[in-house]
Amino acid sequence: MAWKRKDLLGIRELDPAEITLLIDTAASLREIGTREIKKVPTLRGKTIVNLFYEPSTRTRTSFEIAGKWLSADVINFSASTSSAGKGETLLDTARNIEAMRPDVVVVRHSSAGAAELLARTLRCSVVNAGDGAHEHPTQALLDLLTIRERKGHLEGLQVAIVGDVAHSRVARSNIYGMRKLGMTVTVAGPPTLIPPQVQELGVKVSHRLEDAIRDVDVIMMLRLQHERMSAGLIPSLREYARYWGLTLDRLRASARSDVVIMHPGPVNRGIELSPEVADGPYSVILEQTQNGVAVRMAALFLLAGAKASQEVP
Amino acid sequence: MKLLIRNGRVIDPASGTDLQQDLLVEDGLIARSGPRLERTVAGAEVLDAGGKVVCPGLIDMHVHLREPGHEYKETIETGTRAAAAGGFTAVCCMANTEPANDTRAVTDYILAQARAAGAVRVYPIGAVTRGLGGKELAELAELAEAGCVAFSDDGRPVMNAELYRRAMEYTLPFGCPVISHAEDTNLSHGGCMNERAPTSIWPTSRPPAPSGSCGRPRRAARG
């Protein structure tokens, strides 16, 4: 099938074939990163703007590397160094950037819907690199790619997503993607960190880590933001780590021996993941980061390059 | 060892019993009940309960054992002995000790003292917020694991409604209720009488009457 959308805003609106196309494309593009000369001419002459209103290391870098390996010109705008700091609105900034004729704008913003707002306004393609607690589609795609590589398939797998699901765009995008591809999802955390009626997204809910991780193929641990404590959602990091931190003992006691541990990063060592687990044989955290570049190449390629050449380079 | 309790009004709500009869206790357990058991029972100590009620031990849901911190008022030993004397076999002790029962160490201490010196069963109630301060949640999961059966800041009600909501949500999986002392201290100001004519005569008494009505929506919030 061919990619038809102008933008990549979320997983929720994609159909399974589109998700699979993105993952397949990423899987075939990943090889570029292993070459001596890590560059193909596919997006030569194309301009990609990274418009980041929230701090980010791996996502922004990953989009930048992905664009450069495909020979696009990549420009980074970060809120702290751009006119946003002078009070310019998101739309004004975006319109001004569009006047410089980019082909793709990659946007991260703290407000849910920011990417969609840009997509409706701009003629160029928009990629959502995280909008509030709404969606982070390329993260879900790289997670799915990583799982498929490890397990050989996706359909029928059982996944536990553990932690601050309520504030997590990573969790939401993954829930949509996993459910569309026939996976079973359990979300787990204290009730204050689980969105009300989350079952309507087709997931099960657990309030006990040991129950949630039993017999699953994949455990996805989410990052706990420290401000959840001051908001009264959890009593302390200590108590959170004690009941929701994934330690080697807990893993061995309750999880399968071939379980895969994921984390979107950045990891709070000793809080949601003990160092032995984060660095241990179950962890695929660095594979996720590696696949992140491939998935972003796929997204940029399908949005900006596929019209010129349908062939994967 | 046998104990025959004679002639009492035996009441057991669980089985719907309310009868004038005797009760035979053997080795601490009720062996038989019925009228005139002394005709068939030999060698039992006899207790005459004529004019008295014989019933399962009462549970006091709300006591202050004051230990640790205020032993000059009460200790776990004296408080539980007073409970036993009144027919109570279990008490739930509030968290406003010094330090407050807001960490596992305090709960462990209370339970250890109760085992060592308690005359009745002691079920600690944990604090909702740290130091009963109303600002941050206490470590509620650990308190529940340590043996707290409920949570309450009692007479220092949590005035931050969002924090209170979070406490109720957070404790849902533990099966421990959050107990509300339904008073809005912003309205009551330490008042001690209803807002009627005398408050104009003694104007320092602020009105607690409207403050108490805040309990209803708070209970409803648990859903």
- Could you tell me the pLDDT band of residue B41, with boundaries at 50, 70 and 90? confident
* The pair of three-digit structure tokens given for residue B83, joined into one six-digit string: 């409970």
Is A108 a known active-site residue?
A: yes
pLDDT of residue B221: 39
Chain A residues in contact with B137 (beta carbon < 8 A): 232, 234-235
Give mean pLDDT, residues A162-174: 96
Measure B63 CA to nearest chain A CA, in Å: 26
Nearest to A107 by CA among A163, A189, A30, A52: A52
The pLDDT tens digits for B81-121 are 999 999 999 999 999 999 999 999 999 999 999 999 999 99
pLDDT of residue A214: 96
Assess whether pLDDT exceeds 70 at residue B43: yes
pLDDT of residue B197: 61
Burial pattern A227-243, b for ≥16 Cβ within 10 A else e, equals ebbeebbbbbbebbbeb
**Per-position DSSP letters for A143-211, written without gaps between them:** HHHHHHHHHS--TT-EEEEES-GGG-HHHHHHHHHHHHTT-EEEEES-GGGS-TTGGGGT-EEES-HHH
Residue A138 CB-half CA count within 13 A: 32
Please tell me which residue of chain A has the smallest CA distance to B102: A235
Chain B residues in contact with A235 (beta carbon < 8 A): 130, 136-141, 170
Q: Do B166 and A233 touch (CB under 8 A)?
A: yes
- Could you tell me the pLDDT band of residue A82, with boundaries at 50, 70 and 90? low
What percentage of chain A has pLDDT greater than the value 70? 96
Helix axes A16-29, A169-180, angle to 10 degrees: 110
* The pair of three-digit structure tokens given for residue A16, joined into one six-digit string: 């399974």
Mean pLDDT check: name the lowest of A34-43, B13-22, B38-47: B38-47
Map tokens 């100590």 to a residue.
B45
Q: Does B51 touch chain A (CB under 8 A)?
A: no
Q: Calculate the average pLDDT of chain A.
A: 93
- Could you tell me the pLDDT band of residue B223, with boundaries at 50, 70 and 90? very low
Is the pTM higher than 0.80? The answer reads: yes
Rounded Cα distance between A255 and A218, Å, is: 9
pLDDT of residue A229: 75
Q: Which of A191, A238, A242 sits opposite B170 (nearest CB)?
A: A191
Rounded Cα distance between A304 and A66, Å, is: 13
Is A59 a known active-site residue?
A: yes
- Could you tell me the pLDDT band of residue B10, with boundaries at 50, 70 and 90? very high
* The pair of three-digit structure tokens given for residue A99, joined into one six-digit string: 């006047």
Chain A residues in contact with B139 (beta carbon < 8 A): 235-236, 238-239
Q: Does A75 touch chain B (CB under 8 A)?
A: no
Q: Do A238 and B139 touch (CB under 8 A)?
A: yes
- Could you tell me the pLDDT band of residue B213, with boundaries at 50, 70 and 90? very low
Assess whether pLDDT exceeds 80 at residue B7: yes
Is A207 a known active-site residue?
A: no
Assess whether pLDDT exceeds 80 at residue A32: yes
Find residues 126-145 of chain B whose CB sits inside 8 Å of chain A: 130, 136-142
pLDDT of residue B194: 66
pLDDT of residue B219: 40
Assess whether pLDDT exceeds 70 at residue B196: no
User: Higher model confidence: residue B33 or residue B90?
Assistant: B90
Chain B residues in contact with A236 (beta carbon < 8 A): 136, 139
Outline where DSSP puts E strands in chain A: 47-52, 73-78, 104-109, 125-131, 158-162, 184-188, 204-206, 218-221, 260-262
Q: Do A239 and B173 touch (CB under 8 A)?
A: no
The interface predicted TM-score of the complex, written ipTM, equals 0.85
Question: Which of A205, A234, A238 should we substitute to test contact with B (largest number of B Cβ atoms within 10 Å)?
Answer: A234
User: Higher model confidence: residue B223 or residue A186?
Assistant: A186
DSSP annotation of B9:
E
Q: Which of A30, A60, A108, A296 is catalytic?
A: A108
Map tokens 């899987």 to a residue.
A27
Measure B66 CA to nearest chain A CA, in Å: 25
Determine the straight-line distance between the first and last CA of chain B, rounded to whole angstroms: 49
What percentage of chain A has pLDDT greater than the value 90? 85
pLDDT of residue B216: 37
Give mean pLDDT, residues A120-143: 96
Nearest to B82 by CA among B68, B98, B93, B97: B93
